[in-house]
Chains A and B, each alone.
Chain A
Amino acid sequence: MDVFQGLVQGFEVAFSMQGLLFVFIGVSTGTIIGMIPGLGPITAIAVMIPITYGMNPAIALLLMAGVYYGAAYGGAAASILLNAPGTSEATATTFDGYPLAKQGKAGKALAIAAIGSFVGGTISVIFLTLFAPLLANVAVSFGPPEYFALMLMGLMAIASLSEGSTIKALLSGVIGLMIATIGIDDQTGTPRFTFGTPHLMEGIDFIVIALGLFALAEVTSLILNRSAKLKDMKKIGSLKITKKEYKELAPTMGRQSVLGFLVGVLPGAGGTISSFLAYIFEKKISKNPEEFGKGSIKGVAAPETANNAANNGAFVPLLSLGIPGSGTTAVMLGALIVLGIQPGPLLMTDHTDVFWGVIASMYIGNVILLILNLPLIPYISRILLVPRPLLISLVIFFCIIGVYAVNFSTFHLYILLAFGIIGYVMRLIQFPAAPLLLAFILGSMMEQAFRQSLTISNGSLSIFVTSPVAAVLLFIAFLSLLVPIVKDFREKRKSTK
């Protein structure tokens, strides 16, 4: 089936009454969740998973796509209105978004963010449509050694690109892999690290870890800041963007859509890095760089366009290789698996409707986001007024439902609580949580690929070097580990001089 036919099929699903309804629900819930500080796309998707049980996968995907875009936009809204970026991806948006809001131009900033997200999202989805099938064709020839090398590379990239100390990111990744070994071994049936309890036989579900490390851990900071007053929100201003401003913004949005997509395709980079890169890039080439940081409209458009484009770029490895490149796509992978869909090269041949359904739903999600959010800007800003104590209780409540509906046992709820505490401690000692979650999700796949490779080669590690693809990928993984070490070394030499 060619690209065009597939897309038409996908749109048929998306344009049904039910399809449109669920995208609509998804976008609005996503926006609300995304605006709540600390709750970004990761949590929004995780919270939605139990709701999609038993739904038609194509429709569930539409809901997810809506939630995904909505949450990303919601995060931008919180950055602009409150200077409180819900997620790291929305951080760069605060640099100019919040100054604009303080000048009483919040409406304009929100409108630019919505349009930027739309442009970035749409252009990158077109790239995704073109490139994902190509990559999937290559991936069909991959065997266990190549897969193992690829996943290792993705993991290394995350560790070396994440903020802060590389060694901590690597440790976090190893612990994630260790947690993935809990439960019955898929190849020999040996129960590992279950401590004799039947509750651990099937291992720990990813949702327990995702909600614990991210949502519950955030609750602590919400509790500490529960009395923070919300001010500066009286005036929203006009949403109108003049023709002159459009002319000014068009090249920025065009450039950042392409750059953002390219950054997103790389495993480990994703929204955060692309939005910062976009901001720095636009500031560097701008004629008046001094405007940046004081309420430049380009300063809002650049990161918002780039991070949406990057988020779509991250879908290329997810859909074509079955390998998530970022924390958000990792959760998305979990969500797809819950729906009974295994992303990977075979997705395109075995489940054409689902594959193109995902892509079509991304087009639709983008459009709905724009239609829905522009007129609602004056209203959505009020949702931020939900009293914190109520918000905290509700977040805890939704985390508990999310986990209980997967396992139906209170045992896993205690584990959820434990991961919440671990997540908080990890923040205190500045251990990044994303590598842990990603490693956990990739863990069992990596172990299978590793052991299958060794079984094929009769126990010889040379199989990872004799396959040229695997060798190259492993070499890149090794290089990405060297980058931060070299950087550290250079900085040290600079400081001693």
Chain B
Amino acid sequence: MFNTTNKKVSIFLILLGIIYLILSFRLPKYAYVPVDSDLVPICLGVLLLILAGILYFTKDQEKKEDDERIPKKELPIVLGVIGLIVIYISLLEIIGFVLVSVLFLFFCSMFLGYKKYVINGIVSLVIPTFVYLLFDSFLQIQLPSGILPF
């Protein structure tokens, strides 16, 4: 049942379609609206089920030459970068845009193997500061200033 990629993907999409349909049917209905808000979602859910059904019986395509699958030894690095992004996002509004961006740029580049610490430091300091000033004074968009006093 799960022996090809298409079949696995198809099953996943069918499950997604079922959940989406259940949620669509539970949308509130109004008495005097000729076309209610659940019509389009229901159509889409059914369409997804039909197409996913067709996909189930479709043969897999041949693999591309440049396989983009992550090799095992690279996996920690990719996950590490995702982890850094999560930390960045969660601290953004607490510590403030400039500080957390400087730290992110520096450590993310270092984590990926950039060894010229001086250049890295300068780039990491200059770009977020410049962007912050650009947004703050030029575009009047307030980015979180966090624990810095300005």
Contact = CB atoms under 8 A, between A and B. Distances in A.
Interface of A: 50-51, 53-54, 164-165, 167-168, 170-171, 174-175, 177-178, 181, 185, 187-188, 190, 192-193, 219-221, 223-224, 226-227, 387-390, 392-394, 396-397, 400-401, 404-405, 410, 413-414, 417, 421, 424, 427-431, 447, 450-451, 454-455, 458-459
Nearest to B92: A410
A329 B51 CA distance: 27
B141 interface: yes
Main secondary structure of the interface of A (DSSP, over half): helix
Interface in B17-45: 20, 23, 27-28, 30, 33-37, 39-41, 44-45
A454 B113 contact: no
A392 B34 CA distance: 51
Contacts of B81: 219, 223, 392, 396
B74 A224 contact: yes
B69 A393 contact: no
Contact of A175 (B30, B48, B54): B48
Contacts of B119: 390
Interface in B79-97: 81-82, 85-86, 88-90, 92-93
A451 B101 contact: no
Contacts of A455: 34-35
Given A174-B51, A220-B70, A429-B5, 18 more contacts: A50-B141, A167-B54, A167-B58, A170-B51, A175-B48, A190-B28, A193-B41, A224-B78, A227-B113, A389-B110, A389-B112, A390-B120, A392-B109, A394-B123, A400-B92, A430-B61, A447-B40, A450-B40
A251 to B, nearest CB: 35
B48 A454 contact: no
Given A167-B58, A190-B27, A224-B74, A459 B35 contact: yes
Nearest to B131: A401
Contacts of A174: 44, 47-48, 51
B140 interface: yes
Contact of A178 (B20, B33, B141): B20
B112 A226 contact: yes
B46 to A, nearest CB: 10
A308 B52 CA distance: 36
Given A164-B61, A171-B51, A223 B112 contact: yes
A393 B68 contact: no
Specify the main secondary structure of chain B where it touches its partner.
Answer: helix
Contacts of A165: 58, 61
A430 B113 contact: no
A192 B109 contact: no
Contacts of A413: 89, 92
A417 B85 contact: yes
A451 B51 CA distance: 23
A54 B58 CA distance: 49
Contacts of A223: 74, 77-78, 81, 112
Range of interface residues on chain B? 35 or more
Contacts of A190: 27-28, 37
B55 interface: yes
Contacts of A177: 44
B10 to A, nearest CB: 9
Interface of B: 5, 9, 13, 20, 23, 27-28, 30, 33-37, 39-41, 44-45, 47-48, 51-52, 54-55, 58, 61, 64, 68-71, 74, 77-78, 81-82, 85-86, 88-90, 92-93, 101, 104-105, 108-114, 116, 119-120, 123-124, 127-128, 131, 134-135, 139-141, 143
A394 B105 contact: yes
Nearest to B8: A429
A410 B89 contact: yes
Contact of A451 (B35, B131, B141): B35
A453 to B, nearest CB: 9
Contacts of A454: 34-35, 39
10 contacts: A223-B112, A224-B68, A224-B70, A226-B113, A390-B123, A392-B112, A397-B105, A401-B131, A451-B35, A459-B35
A459 B100 CA distance: 54
A393 B30 contact: no
B89 A178 contact: no
A226 B112 CA distance: 8
Residue of A185, A187, A390 most packed against chain B (CB within 10 A): A390
B19 to A, nearest CB: 10
A462 to B, nearest CB: 15
Contacts of B55: 167-168, 171
Nearest to A412: B89
A165 B59 CA distance: 10
